[in-house]
Structure 1
Amino acid sequence: MTIPAIAAAAATLSVAAAVPARVLARAVVCAVWLLAVAACSRPAELPHRLFGLAFGEAPTAELVRQQVPLPADVSQRLAFFTAPGRRETGWAGVVLTDPVLAFDQGRLFSIDAALAEAPAAAGLHDRLTRDFGPAHCRETAGRTVCLWSAGETELILERAVDGPARLMVRHRPTATAVAAVLPQGADGGRRE
């Protein structure tokens, strides 16, 4: 083989090797882009643990039991606790304070907490709408209550003109069972 033939063969090999490298580089860029899009469009995460507890868990020692006037048969079933001084951060970018934790037969089914910063309510409303779809809202004088449902979880954002916004996260099947045992009107007629 002559030197020009060897040079031509080497040039052909280098071009052939360069084409797969360009194709591979494009494939890697496309794969990274697809992973980024998939990460941004994944289903929204519901809070799994708030104030150290998940749905179905028993109250912990640092919680303080609250006395709530209930009919005797219901008071044996339901218990309410607070977590004084505790703050919850990290979920949905909001800081939650002053929680009231509700337990049915010793198992957590509902957490109601204040948003530490009033302006966070509008941002949380927008995020919940983006993540879980349009809310079912009800407005009364000085108060707006919006409900989002996601599987077995309900998220309820209450905004009042004269007080802090509050977020309730509750386990829907248990909340429904609890509502069924409450006497009519025991909840003040509120139904979210």
Structure 2
Amino acid sequence: MTRNGLSRMNTSRMSPARMSIAVVAIAATAMLLASCESAPAPGTSSSPSGYVDSVTGGEGSVRVQGWASDWNTLNPIKVVFMVNGQWVKQVFTADTSRPDLDRKYSRGADFGFDETLSVPAGAVTVCAVALNVGRGEDTILGCLTAESGRSGTTVPTTSSTTTTTPATTTSTTSTSTTSSTVPRCGGVLAATDVIAALC
């Protein structure tokens, strides 16, 4: 067992692609279970910053908009999502054009995300996690709830950054499915469970 309560596993037979996803899964899960802190204000930490601007319900899907950036790099970073406590089986890149971010922080504009996720019917809670680059840790950007045809509202029990940069740009979206229940903060999860969910 690791210090975070995650079981070690043999990755010697994994393909490079699966190993990459496995590392992402373990890191994100460890952060969710051990941290539960607000995302740092932009430029104040080695960990990523960002915000979930909105989660809008659709027919069998939700549209998630926001932004994420790591001040250790000028390149776009990766973002993963959870829907109702389940990991989405895809790693996304926050590279949607957001000119408002460039005007505010002078670091470029390609740090937004605008994704469409397949979800079950009814109310859903969507959480976004920005994956760290270099020093620092993965960051929970926030969690919002949505229902078909309604915009998301903040879930009080889940941390989110106080940065309030609204989404302004639309881009091509990706569609994914969810799998494997993951406990919220405070639980213990074997790394093999997360890898089975994402690989």
TM-score (norm 1): 0.28
Rg larger for: 1
Higher relative contact order (CA 8 A, sep 6+): 2
